[in-house]
Structure 1
Amino acid sequence: MSEYEGRSFFKDAAYNIRRTMELDPAAHSKWEVFWLYPHIKAIGLHRIARWLWDHHRTFLARWVSNVARNWTGIEIHPGATIGRGLVIDHGMGVVIGETAIVEDDCHLYHGVTLGGTGKEHKKRHPTLKKGAYVGSGAKCLGNITLGMYSRVGANAVVLQDVPDYATAVGMPARIIERKREDVEISL
């Protein structure tokens, strides 16, 4: 059973819509976000796929996941754990792998990959802690952790942990900045 299964599907959706309105100056109304923003549909369908996955209906879970990918351009494996408040800006080409964990209030841009390494049946995808931000085209690979309110620059390739409140850029990614924990970071 997933950690988020007990939450209200509709309360999570409403929170995601509000959060999108706060972060995206191009969002003009809640109805626009609900009907036209692909990440809202992708996350909603992921919640259904995850429920099926947790109840050993793996074929149906994968089917729902494929419908979501074809409809939105966002691929979220049914086994991935997705917290509330995830915003996937523009969305096209985002891939989130099976053992990925994305905690609350994270922000991803188009072309982001949270990918695995290896073929083992264990944790092999990234964990994004609360408030992590990943820029366009970034690749975060393996069983790594992006710390709370960390930031990953566009097109970075992250192969190692990023500490809380740190910024990582480049190929391979390196830490260029670390904020004090008591400094609020605005996304």
Structure 2
Amino acid sequence: MLGNLVRYLDSVVARDPAPRSRWEVLLYPGVWALFFHKIAHRLFRADLFFLARVVNHISRFMTAIDIHPGATIGRNFFIDHGFTVIGETAEIGDNVTIYQCVTLGGSNPTNGKGGKRHPTLLDNVIVGSGAQIIGPVTVGRRARVGASAVVTEDVPEGATMIGVKARSTLVKAETYAKEFMPYGTPCKEPCEPVGSQRVDELEEQVAALRAQVDALLRANAEARAAVDAHAEPVVKGV
């Protein structure tokens, strides 16, 4: 058990440069939330639902992280900061990273039955801060969900999703191949090459329109000057 704990703490240190030692990681709210969830999940599996909820409420009070006792979580799950909500039928794979204010929420079943209504995150997924993943969707392996994205459909393996409603954006192969991407978003280049190109096109059109307006104003001024130069002088008294 001690070896598993050390491996887990090392996996957190590998993804977060802030801690100077494993001891600091032990103070992280995400680590404590996962500890309480393991207890609550065992109680839930044993049909001790009320006791599981009690442990869940204690965890939420202490960590500001709400993980339903029924959620299934794999190895080396890391919640960086708090205010995260994970629903009952959520399934989380190995080496998944979630940042603050993320919701793995459920859809509202029309048949009145619970069923599978929360997301499934496969191995090595990264979810940026403020992202909302809603419904029984599957987020593929090594996928990244950018900050504040809203995901309501399945995410392909290795995709980077951004925006509301979230859509895939092209990411260079060398970026995709990285073991870890903080906040699930490439920060050294624009997330949407197509969007930045559109802005450049609009700026070029505005510059062209300004040039045309200036040319028309100059032509108008020259025409008026020519008319004034050729006008006959008015002789008083005639």
Q: TM-score scaled to structure 2, two decimals? A: 0.71
Could you tell me which residue of structure 1 aligns to residue 99 of structure 2?
109
CA apart distance, 1:47: 0.4
Could you tell me which residue of structure 1 aligns to residue 160 of structure 2?
167
Equivalences for 1:1-187 in 2 at 5 Å? 10-34=2-26, 36-90=27-81, 92-119=82-109, 120-177=113-170, 184-187=177-180
Structure having the larger proportion of residues in helix? 2
- Partners in 1 of 2:4 and 2:129 — Cα distance? 25
Given that 1:97 and 1:116 are in contact with CA atoms closer than 8 Å, whether structure 2 keeps it comes out as: yes
CA apart distance, 1:126: 0.3
- Partners in 1 of 2:12 and 2:159 — Cα distance? 23
Given that 1:108 and 1:134 are in contact with CA atoms closer than 8 Å, whether structure 2 keeps it comes out as: yes
Secondary structure of the structure 2 residue equivalent to 1:168: strand
Given that 1:109 and 1:135 are in contact with CA atoms closer than 8 Å, whether structure 2 keeps it comes out as: yes
Residues 1:12 and 1:161: Cα distance change in structure 2 (over 3 Å): farther
Give the % identical residues: 45
Structure having the larger proportion of residues in strand? 1
Given that 1:13 and 1:40 are in contact with CA atoms closer than 8 Å, whether structure 2 keeps it comes out as: no
**Matched residue count:** 176
CA apart distance, 1:184: 2.7
Which runs of 5 or more structure 2 residues have no equivalent in the other structure? 181-238
CA apart distance, 1:71: 0.3
For residues 153-185 of structure 1, the C-alpha deviation after alignment (integer angstroms, 9 at most, x for no partner) is: 0000000011000000000000112666xx633
- Structure with more relative contact order (C-alpha pairs < 8 Å, separation 6 or more): 1
Secondary structure of the structure 2 residue equivalent to 1:123: coil
Structure 2 counterpart of 1:186, one-letter code: E
Structure 1 counterpart of 2:10, one-letter code: R
Greater gyration radius: 2
Q: TM-score scaled to structure 1, two decimals? A: 0.89
Given that 1:168 and 1:177 are in contact with CA atoms closer than 8 Å, whether structure 2 keeps it comes out as: no
Residues 1:164 and 1:179: Cα distance change in structure 2 (over 3 Å): farther
- Partners in 2 of 1:104 and 1:179 — Cα distance? 24
- Partners in 1 of 2:57 and 2:140 — Cα distance? 30
List 4+ stretches of structure 1 deviating above 2 A: 10-16, 177-180, 183-186
Residues 1:154 and 1:139: Cα distance change in structure 2 (over 3 Å): same
Residues 1:54 and 1:155: Cα distance change in structure 2 (over 3 Å): same
